[in-house]
Amino acid sequence: MSASNPFIDWKVEQRYAQEQNFNLGRVEPHRTAAQHVHALIKNAEKAGLI
């Protein structure tokens, strides 16, 4: 993973925002980063690290 934080512009109250307020340009980097973290966790599980 990169050293930059893709969630730097995310605020917890946005979790409950209505979907029509979502902007694909802001959401896509969050989604990509979350998928990357998910893959890292799955790989760590397969390797017996967690």
pTM above threshold 0.85: no
Torsion angle in degrees (nearest 10) through CA of 40, 41, 42, 45: 120
Non-local CB neighbours of 29 within 8 Å, separated by 6+ positions? 6
pLDDT tens readout for residues 1-22 = 667 888 888 888 888 888 887 8
User: Which structure tokens are listed for 36?
Assistant: 């990357």
For residue 3, give the nearest of 35, 39, 48, 33 by alpha carbon.
33
pLDDT tens readout for residues 32-48 = 999 999 999 999 999 99
